[in-house]
Amino acid sequence: MAKSNLSLDNDYLSWLKSQSMVLSTKEKEIRTKEIKKLVKKDLDVQLKMDVKENTLFHKYHELKEWLPKQKESDLRWVERLIWKPKGKSDFRRIEPELIFVDGHYEIDSINIWGESQTDIYESADPLAKHWEILRRLVSRARYDRFPARTLNFLVRDKVSKTYLGVISITSDMLDLTERNKTIGADIGKFSKDGFAFNITVNGQTIVPTQPFGSAYLGGKLLALLCLSDVVSNTWKQIYGETIVGVTTTSLYGDTGKDGRTQYDGLTPYWKNVGQSKGSAPVKMTDFVYEQVAEWIRLCYPEQYYRDAVKLNSHNNAPKDSKNKLQRFAYKQLGLDSGSVSLHKRNIYFSRLYKNTDEYIKKYIDNKYDSTIQTLPIEKLEKAFDNSVEKLTEHWRYGYATDTTTSPKHLVKKYGQNIRRLVKGRVDEKFKNQRIPTKGIQVEWYEKLGNFKNWELAKKEYQNSNED
């Protein structure tokens, strides 16, 4: 779709008038040369890294900026509330609950002029701060606050009232070719044509605390809980949409331990549907991005307004502004050909209903041709029992049930390598050793942000695992 001319847009002109833009043409040229040098240096450093090192690199820079702003008492409070095992069989007694603690949420409404708008509400729940601290310090991935619809959940053990992890459910990634092929619908084109698509969501953050993750396959439990009725019902309550599918991507592609990630081995709940193209722009460090965004505001105000200020016609909120500004900067500076990360990630998709694909295709077709009827909600057939209790039971024992020797009828149905999940892991890995509660595998990244330089941080942390 062609870009609209903003020269007669009253909202743009009003915004432009409010900005301090006093650079001369010469000053803009000088600023552009400085920015290009800064961006190129950042690119040269990052393009030499593999996906694991690059992820850690961004985490290091994030924490260097974030940690000094935090209260020591808050960090220690949350750290004390992390679940710790007392014995190998503790997985039997865990009763997970999802606590909605979203830092913000958006509700579509109509203003007094009859125009659609989205009201953004900030959560007053103090547990939202706990969620953020955990997200920053137990996940290696950098925390980029998602600009669209977002639901954040703390996952807590009901019995001990301690934290098992954090989940964030957001608007879905629409331009995932391999996922869209398996559904049989061009969701990416649908979005580009200006239609809203809110019937599938993205598991944007699915991170267990440690050692729950490494010892008890905590990431698999959280991945299953993303599909729970609690998540679906909360999304329906706040946004008014029925979600029929959930997408997520692995942190490191297929480079997890043994070439597998926390989402593998969870069929029929999650299925690997291919890999992303690896065509996303290299993420700038926050310091570089802030300089770049300001340069675009001063030198290319129309572009800045479109990507960072102008409200989207469908939901009244800027979408993906950071990636858009980065892409524009790389292109404008003549660096776009060498600014692609090439980091591919595995794509996983969960169909919450047996007829999810049919529902999606008719939903899309109806927007282009109103004579095509959408599939009624009441016609949806659940793909599996998605109660928290049932999902938790599967995480504990898989298909093998609570036995050491599998019954013959189960072996006949599922094969000799019957899925045992947590019980199988504990029986095999911790038969003759204690579960570690300290050390590099019990990831709490506070120490990472206290290193004086990147090289020291990399040496300490590059061999730890997460995915």
Mean pLDDT (the chain, rounded): 86
Please tell me the distance from the alpha carbon of residue 169 to that of residue 150, in angstroms, as a whole number. Answer: 6
Q: Among 109-113, 259-263, 300-304, 324-328, which is the least confidently predicted range? A: 109-113
Q: Can you give the pLDDT at residue 115?
A: 43
Q: Can you give the pLDDT at residue 318?
A: 45
pLDDT band at residue 186 using 50, 70 and 90 as cut-offs:
very high
Q: Can you give the pLDDT at residue 116?
A: 46
DSSP label of 172: P
The count of C-alpha atoms lying within 13 angstroms of the C-alpha of 31, restricted to the half-sphere facing its C-beta, is 18
CB atoms within 10 A of CB 254: 16
* Of 206, 133, 205, 202, residue with least CA distance to 172: 202
Whether the model pTM is above 0.75: yes
How long, in residues, is the chain? 467
pLDDT band at residue 72 using 50, 70 and 90 as cut-offs:
very high
**122 strand-pairing partners:** 104
Q: Please state the rounded mean pLDDT for residues 343-355.
A: 92
Q: Is the pLDDT of residue 371 over 60?
A: yes
Q: Please state the rounded mean pLDDT for residues 79-107.
A: 86
In degrees, rounded to 5, the angle at the alpha carbon of residue 141 between the alpha carbons of residues 290 and 172 is 85
Q: Is 69 exposed, middle or buried (0-12, 13-18, 19+ CB in 10 A)?
A: exposed
The answer to whether 376 touches 355, Cβ cutoff 8 Å, is: no
* Of 51, 19, 93, residue with least CA distance to 261: 51
Q: Please state the rounded mean pLDDT for residues 311-339.
A: 73
CB atoms within 10 A of CB 17: 8
Question: Is the model more confident about 307 or about 406?
Answer: 307
pLDDT tens-digit series, residues 418-450: 778 888 888 888 877 888 777 655 678 999 999
Q: Please state the rounded mean pLDDT for residues 234-259.
A: 83
Q: Can you give the pLDDT at residue 21?
A: 81
Q: Is 127 exposed, middle or buried (0-12, 13-18, 19+ CB in 10 A)?
A: middle
Q: Is the pLDDT of residue 102 over 60?
A: yes
Question: Is the model more confident about 452 or about 399?
Answer: 452
Answer positive or negative: Cα dihedral of 164, 166, 172, 176. Answer: negative
* Of 378, 1, 367, 382, residue with least CA distance to 187: 367
pLDDT tens-digit series, residues 137-152: 999 999 987 767 899 9
Which two structure tokens, joined as six digits, stand for 122? 């900030």
Which two structure tokens, joined as six digits, stand for 112? 């007094």
